[in-house]
């Protein structure tokens, strides 16, 4: 069994944003040489998320609006955590959207359902962040 590890690096100029990372993950699968296995993709920061869904701009906007209703950024004083940093909402949004995605690899390709893509969702940008790609298989 092979094992392969790669990191993606992000620095969003804005507080929040979504980026499709499917091609970068497939590139890592290609580099690994794994034809049958699994790939784990996880945000290595507690204020960002990795998730799988449709690559549709309206849906991404809907996620943003929905998350802001569930965990509004302001007022900052509504959160006890904000005595340390003003990013408590980002921690909550990450919990809702999830930490990671696991995808099967079949014949060297990400084995998705219709419309599925992998996304990185930043909730507290303007600083360096990382995503881990870990691939195992043959």
- What pLDDT, in 10s, does the model give residues 57-68? 999 999 999 999
Cα atoms in the 13 Å half-sphere on the side-chain side of 120: 27
Identify the three-state secondary structure at position 46: coil
- What pLDDT, in 10s, does the model give residues 94-126? 999 999 999 999 999 999 999 999 999 999 999
What's this model's pTM, rounded to 2 decimal places?
A: 0.96
Q: What would the CATH number be for the domain defined by 2-137?
A: 2.60.120.460
Cα–Cα distance measured from residue 123 to residue 31, given in angstroms and rounded to the nearest whole number: 29
Write down the domain spans for the chain: 2-137
């Amino acid at each position: 069994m092979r094992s392969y590890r790669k990191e993606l690096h992000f620095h969003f100029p804005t507080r929040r944003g979504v980026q499709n990372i499917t091609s970068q993950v497939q590139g890592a699968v290609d580099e690994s040489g794994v034809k049958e296995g699994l790939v784990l993709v996880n945000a290595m920061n507690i204020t960002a998320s990795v998730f799988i869904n449709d690559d549709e701009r309206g849906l991404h906007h809907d996620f943003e609006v929905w998350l802001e209703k569930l965990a509004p950024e302001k007022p900052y004083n509504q959160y006890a955590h904000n005595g340390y940093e003003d990013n408590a909402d980002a921690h909550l949004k990450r919990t809702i959207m999830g930490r990671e995605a696991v995808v099967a690899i079949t014949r060297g390709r990400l084995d998705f359902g219709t419309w599925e893509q992998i996304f990185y969702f930043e909730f507290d940008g303007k600083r360096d962040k990382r995503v881990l790609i870990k691939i195992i298989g043959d």
